[in-house]
Structure formats: structure tokens, C-alpha cells
Chains A and B, each alone.
Chain A
Amino acid sequence: MRKTSPAISFLTICLVCLVFASSCGRQNADVIVAGSTSVQPYAEILAEEYERLYPGNAVDVQGGGSAAGITAVQSGAADIGMSSRALKDGEKSLWSVEIAKDGLAIVVNPQNPVTDLTLEQIRKIYSAEITDWSEAGGTRAKIHIITREEGSGTRSAFEDLVMAGGRISAGAIVQDSNGTVRQLVSSDKNSIGFISLGLVDGTVKAVSLGGVEASAANIENGAYGLSRPFLFVCLGEPEGRARQFIDFVLSGEGQRVLTHEGLIPRAEGAVK
């Protein structure tokens, strides 16, 4: 038998190492959290804080949208799913807990003179009954409607709260995360979009709803009606490291972090 060539030996060794290495990674068992892009930035901050307080416990946060997160939990690809809307009928068998409430902000470009819209106006804009800003109190210009993709929890929440059964116009521009919607609204003078209230910053302007300013206070006292729950979803009762993380999020510390970031703390007794 000839000597095995050195190249083949080397490759075999690499292969074996890879096999071992791949199993090594999993042993640290990151808690995998996936889903809503609205919840994602908050989950990331929570994860950082969690890892700081309990070193050695890694939490891996991914996006993809509320529907993707729920699918991931159902298939086992993620330990915890994030959702920015209430569970639908087919999903009610999953375990879920509300970790906070978030406001839904309707945003326009800072240069847009419009600062206030009624719910009715927003609905008409999004169903393309109103197509020009001049019909809504602004200057003459065609309105560029921006919406989220169908699997987005934010979009579901918007459709439930604003559209009241009507459809968003097919001509609306579709973007796949809060971040891209915000970026687009900040650069297009004639655009309108909806994003998580907590993500509104200086680059976009949140319109007030029938005179009521969009703020955490107004959500808590009920004056501003557009709000939706942030949920953590699991396949069954969570255990082990996933349970530990969820407990942290629901604890006083976790809630303090979320309030600090602009969310509304969860109502007590919201655990299912």
C-alpha cells in the first residue's frame, strides 16, 4: 500500500476538527431569540444587560419579523420568538407572555408641514382614497405610502388598529424592517410610514393623532390609542436558560431597562 499523501491526511484532520468544533459551539447553548424587528432592538439591549449581570449566559437575538419568529419557535429553530402583535388563532396554542407595550407611531418627514392627522385620514391615505398631501393639510405633492411586509407584526397591528378591515393600497412601498422604514421616511419629503414609537428619533416626525401627541404617557393613560403588546413566545412552558432569560426580562430590572428605552411597562398579570 502506498503512503497516504500528506495532502489527504491534512484534509482529513481538518474535517475531523470541524466536526468536533461544530458540536463544541452548541454546548454553550445560546438562547436563541428571533422575530419582530420592532422588539429586536429592545431584546438586544436586554440581552446585553443580561450577559453583563450573568456572565457566561449568551443570548443570540435575530430579526426576521413577527411571523418568522413564531414560525421559528414552532419549528424549534429558536428558543424564544418575539412578536409585536397579539397571537392569531392558529398560534394560540403557543405559550406567550407580554413583556411590554409599545406605541405605534405614524411618521412623516421632518420637512413635511403636516403635524396632525385623524385616524380616518390615515386610513384614507393608506387605502389610497387620499393621494395628495394637500388633501390632508399639507402642500401639493403626491403621497408616498410606506408599509411593512405582510409577515410584520407592526403591520398586523397597524391593520387591526387603523385600517379597520380595509386594505392597504397595493401601490404602497414595502420595506422589511422598522429601520428601513424610518430611513426612507427621513429621506423622502413626501412619504408617510408607521414604526414602533420607541424607535422615533430626530430623523422623522411622529404626527399627533387627532390632537393627541404620540408619547408613552399618552399610551398609559389611554389617550393615544395606537399601541400593541410586545410578546415573548415559546413552544411550551419555557425551561432552563430560556426561562432564566424570560424571568430577567419580566423582573423589575428588566422592566426598568425597557421603560428607560421608551417602552411602556407591562401590565401586571399579563402572563398567560
Chain B
Amino acid sequence: MRRFKEKLSGRIFFVLALSSISALALITVFIVAKGAPIFVKVGVRDFVFGMSWAPGHGEFGIFPMIVGTLSVTLGAAVLGVPLGICCSIFLTEFAPSVLKSVFRPAIQLLAGIPSVVYGFWGLIFVVPFIRDRIGGPGLSILAGSVILAIMILPTVIMISEVSILALPRQYKQNALALGLTHWQTIRSVMLPAAKSGIVAAVILGVGRAVGETMAVIMVLGNAVALPKSILDPVRTLTTNIGIEMGYASGEHQQALFATGIVLFILIMILNSAAQFITRRK
């Protein structure tokens, strides 16, 4: 009886594991099946590098959206990554435990805020600020980058922190025993040693930024043109799908699924990079 139960539970777990993989497979197959026809009709090159997105006129070029995704994500990385790494260093090396016990829950809370709330806050606060103090309509790459930078902070901070804490204690002791100051120890010994973990944290944060839709749909302005400055409104691959899926049909819908394929590939590349780097350590 016991052996039967062992085998049964093994089989049940196997089936459950399979079902999660099959969900992934189903989604992939669905997206590819729905989206591939447009690649045939329009041509992969014209689709990916086409400059004009006007479904009403039968034009399906997503290059401006690719630029949108890349620029908003890059902006988020530039703003969020240094801040996040500095915060993690502060938490691990400098913060007194009182501050730590306030900081950590606060950062976890930040991670738990729904993205639509971020978007709303951005619309009410960040967009008018940019419009009145800096320039342009406020709905812009800059607004999106600011929102996303804050959203990826918890990821970057928490994973970097773990990487630094995982360093063997001896690294720090040895460095200090050599007469290095605290800051020299951090900069020249601990950070280089924790480098692969920190890079993984950055890539995961960036991956989150690439896939984010709700938070940025409200603050980017969603213009289909190629942006010329960070104050210009822009559309990302994700927001393109988000805005138009509700009513798209026929070729238009296929084109949106094809946009999904492009996104899929982008995120797969990012995830593989993260895995590769962490494994090398």
C-alpha cells in the first residue's frame, strides 16, 4: 500500500509539473500561430524595421515601438540601477539595524504596489512635473523611465543585497586586515566579488521593465512616431498591444500577436543572459 502511494504521489507531481510547462507551451503555440501570418504577409524585415504603424491604412511597422521599449528601459536602468546598487551597499554595510528594520519592509512594500497604482501616481505627479518644470507634454520617455526605475528598485536592491551578503566573511576580514578602509574594501574587494550576482539583479530588473505595461500606458503618451528626445511621447511594444487589442481584428490583430512574438524573443534573450551570467559564477 505504501509503495503504491509513493508511486502515485510521484506521478501526481509529475502531472502537475507538466501542466505548468504545458501552459507555457500553449501560450507560445497560440501566439506564434496567430502572429506568424503577418510575418508572411508583410515580411519580417518590413515588420520589425518598418517606421510606420497605421493599422487603419494597413501599415504594420513596429520599429518606433522597439525604439520606445529600448529607450524607456534604458532610461529606467540608468536611473534605477545605480540607485539600487547604492541602496543595497548601504543596507549591507552601513545601515544601523534600526534603519535596516525600517528600510527592508519599505522596499518590500514598494515591490508589492500594483503597477496600475504606479501609473496613476505617475500621471498625477510625474507628468505635470515634467511638463511644467522641464518641457514637452509631460507624457514622455522620461516619465516612463522614472516610473519604471522606481518599480525595478526592489528587485535590484534585494538581489544585490543577497549577493553581497553571500560573500564569505573572510573577504571582508582579509581586506580590512590588510589595512584597507571600509570604502576601499567595498569598492575594490566586495563589489567585484559580488559582481555576477549584481549583474543578474540588474538583468532581472531590466526584464521586468521591458514587460511592464499598465504602469507606463498612462504616462508615455502612446504616440506612434519615432521619438526624437526623452521629452517626446512614445509607445512601447507592450503598450501597443495594450491599447489596441480591445478592438483589433483580422490583420491588425495578427500584427499585435506578432508584436507579442517579438517581445517574447526579447525577454527570452534577457532571461538567458541572466542565467548564463549567474551560472558562470
Q: Which of A63-71, A237-245, A246-254 participates in binding chain B? A: A63-71
Name the A residues within 8 Å of B57 (CB-CB).
Answer: 167
- Cβ B247 vs Cβ A175 within 8 A: no
- Cβ A173 vs Cβ B221 within 8 A: yes
CB distance from A203 to the nearest CB of B (A): 14
Majority secondary structure of chain B interface residues (helix, strand, loop or mixed): loop
- Cβ A68 vs Cβ B222 within 8 A: no
Q: Taking the complex as formed, is B75 at the interface, i.e. its CB lies under 8 A from any CB of chain A?
A: no
Contact residues of A between 163 and 183, Cβ < 8 Å to B: 167, 169-176
- Cβ A170 vs Cβ B225 within 8 A: yes
Per-residue contact bits, chain A 184-222, to B (CB 8 Å; 1 contact, 0 not): 100110110000000000000000000000000000000
Per-residue contact bits, chain B 212-251, to A (CB 8 Å; 1 contact, 0 not): 0000000001111100000011010000000110111100
Which residue on chain B has the smallest CB distance to residue A171? Answer: B225
- Cβ A64 vs Cβ B137 within 8 A: no
Q: Taking the complex as formed, is A225 at the interface, i.e. its CB lies under 8 A from any CB of chain B?
A: no
- Cβ A170 vs Cβ B247 within 8 A: no
Q: Which of A16-24, A94-102, A143-151, A258-266 participates in binding chain B? A: A143-151
Contact residues of B between 99 and 134, Cβ < 8 Å to A: 128, 131
Interface size, A (range): 20 to 34
Per-residue contact bits, chain B 195-222, to A (CB 8 Å; 1 contact, 0 not): 0000000000000000000000000011
How many angstroms from the CA of A258 to the CA of B64 in the assembled complex?
42
Q: Taking the complex as formed, is B84 at the interface, i.e. its CB lies under 8 A from any CB of chain A?
A: no
- Cβ A151 vs Cβ B137 within 8 A: no
Which residue on chain B has the smallest CB distance to residue A147? Answer: B223
- Cβ B139 vs Cβ A173 within 8 A: yes
Partner of A173 from B54, B64, B223, B244 at Cβ < 8 Å: B223
Name the A residues within 8 Å of B248 (CB-CB).
Answer: 151
- Cβ A71 vs Cβ B243 within 8 A: no
CB distance from B243 to the nearest CB of A (A): 5
CB distance from B37 to the nearest CB of A (A): 19
- Cβ B222 vs Cβ A173 within 8 A: yes
- Cβ A151 vs Cβ B225 within 8 A: no
Name the B residues within 8 Å of A171 (CB-CB).
Answer: 223, 225, 232-233
For the complex, count residues of B whose C-beta is within 8 A of A.
Answer: 26
CB distance from A147 to the nearest CB of B (A): 9
Name the A residues within 8 Å of B55 (CB-CB).
Answer: 150
Contact residues of B between 15 and 60, Cβ < 8 Å to A: 52-57
- Cβ A173 vs Cβ B247 within 8 A: no
- Cβ A172 vs Cβ B223 within 8 A: yes
Name the B residues within 8 Å of A174 (CB-CB).
Answer: 221-224, 235, 243
Per-residue contact bits, chain A 134-150, to B (CB 8 Å; 1 contact, 0 not): 00000000001000011
- Cβ B247 vs Cβ A151 within 8 A: yes
CB distance from A4 to the nearest CB of B (A): 16
Name the A residues within 8 Å of B232 (CB-CB).
Answer: 171
- Cβ B225 vs Cβ A65 within 8 A: no
- Cβ B224 vs Cβ A65 within 8 A: no
How many angstroms from the CA of A150 to the CA of B59 in the assembled complex?
13
Q: List 10 additional contacts besides A151-B244, A170-B223; criterion CB under 8 Å.
A: A64-B246, A64-B247, A144-B137, A149-B243, A150-B54, A167-B57, A169-B225, A174-B243, A175-B222, A184-B139
Interchain residue pairs with CB less than 8 A apart (27): A64-B246, A64-B247, A65-B247, A66-B247, A68-B247, A149-B222, A149-B243, A149-B244, A150-B54, A150-B56, A151-B244, A151-B246, A151-B247, A169-B225, A170-B52, A170-B54, A170-B64, A170-B223, A170-B225, A171-B225, A173-B223, A174-B223, A184-B139, A187-B128, A187-B131, A188-B137, A190-B137
9 closest A-B pairs by beta carbon, nearest first, are A151-B247, A67-B247, A170-B225, A174-B222, A68-B247, A171-B225, A144-B137, A173-B221, A68-B246
User: Which B residues fall within an 8 A CB radius of A?
Assistant: 52-57, 64, 128, 131, 137-139, 221-225, 232-233, 235, 243-244, 246-249
